[in-house]
Amino acid sequence: MTQYEQARAGTITPQMARVAQREGIDAETVRDELAAGRLVIPANRLHLAGCGGEGAARLDPCGIGRAVSTKINANIGASPVSSCRQQELIKLQWALRYGADAVMDLSTGGDLDETREHILAHATVPVGTVPVYSMIVDRPVEDLTCEQILACIARQAEQGVDFFTIHAGIKREHLGLVSRRKMGIVSRGGSLLAKWMVHHTRQNPMYEMFDEISAILRQYDVAYSLGDGLRPGCLADASDAAQFAELDALGELVARAREAGVQTIVEGPGHIPFHEIEMNVARQQAVCDGAPFYVLGPIVTDMFPGYDHITSAIGATAAAYHGASFLCYVTPAEHLSLPTPEEVKQGCIAYKIAAHAADVARGLAGARRADDEISDARAAFDWQRQFELAFDGPAAEKIRRRDVKDDQEFCAMCGRDWCAMRISKEVTQGVGQGRDAADR
């Protein structure tokens, strides 16, 4: 039985208990949310056991849903023109160091099977893939057969992958809507399957074979991440007929996946104006019956290439506040190049900020504890405690020590005589002494 099936049967599994422990909530709450389909624990049975042989990392399960803290995903993976297996391992290590709750191997270059196995053997977080990339390594997409599709999905499940992006919601009848767009189809998986459908004048094979794919996922307890092959790639295409036609198909597939006993996440739009984010999230939650929403950003403006970790983190904060549970990071390299380890770090930090800000705003229990603790340290001019509490303490300390070497009661922004907090302390002490004198 999958986690979803066991939850519906009333069983609390070790994975559910671990999620409850990590989140500081009751295990029965985790079970209830999982049984309702509002929470997912991506945990392939083989990754839990340590796929990759002796010494391989074992998955530490995490929960994705509104009852728990907002999670972030880091995309890594080699391309045909850049990176290698070892470089991707470094990116994995940096992603984990800077707070990624999951990673996706989006490799399209090099030995994809070897890279995937290498990442899985070192990852303690859930690992996702887009299987269609591996299906076309040695062949044009037009030559892809249904048997090859199922064989590739089964192979990656056997390797230990925890969740699959499957673009089953983009249907042949949706393709006419794409011609109205400024940028067409920007999803790699979506464009590949669109090309297959046009060539064969047939329905999307992922949609046609959805039940067969579900049977493979159920066998290993792999979660669906139902892909948004028609996500908008610019503000001009946001919230259009193509996007919402696919969303309606994804709502149908959520129900079919649950009937098959498979856990399901739904992927969401990429470029959305800020004022449309709340509507998009509400619509997904209604159409997909509360399935966890996994959003890329959204990116709220198109005109800042090189800074899209910022433009998207703005949208991600709003999306997570309004109902998204899983944020796919965007790095400064988005739209431009494959990210470096340093850009992976920047993307992770931007999205940890977005996720945490949303959790504080929605009143998640315990979310603001660290904020209050660091505020106490600031009020006391306890610099060392501030560095201990900061998400990236070494970076904060490096900036602090740039101009002021010792732990004095001011920073270089104001200096001693202009420091408002020091002056405030003197004022407070003076007011207190005045009251004491008056009382006497």
Burial (0-12, 13-18, 19+ Cβ within 10 Å), 381: middle
Homologous superfamily, domain 17-23+41-361: Radical SAM ThiC family, central domain (3.20.20.540)
Average pLDDT estimate for 168-196: 97
Whether the pLDDT of residue 250 is over 90: the answer is yes
Q: Taking phi first (over 0 means left), then psi (-120 to 50 degrees means alpha), and beta for anything else, what does residue 63 get?
A: beta
CA distance 310 to 299: 9
Query: Residue 29 pLDDT > 70, yes or no?
Result: yes
User: pLDDT tens across 403-434, in order?
Assistant: 887 777 777 778 878 888 888 888 888 766 76
- Of the candidates 130, 155, 143, 163, the residue with the CA atom closest to the CA atom of residue 61: 163
State the chain's mean pLDDT as an integer: 94
How many angstroms separate the CA atoms of 197 and 204, rounded? 6
Q: How confident is the model at residue 33 (pLDDT cuts 50, 70, 90)?
A: very high
CA distance 278 to 4: 28
pLDDT tens, 67-93? 999 999 999 988 887 767 788 899 999
Mean pLDDT within 283-304: 98
Q: Could you tell me where in the chain the CATH 3.20.20.540 domains are found?
A: 17-23+41-361
Average pLDDT over residues 209-234: 98
Residue 57: per-residue pLDDT: 82
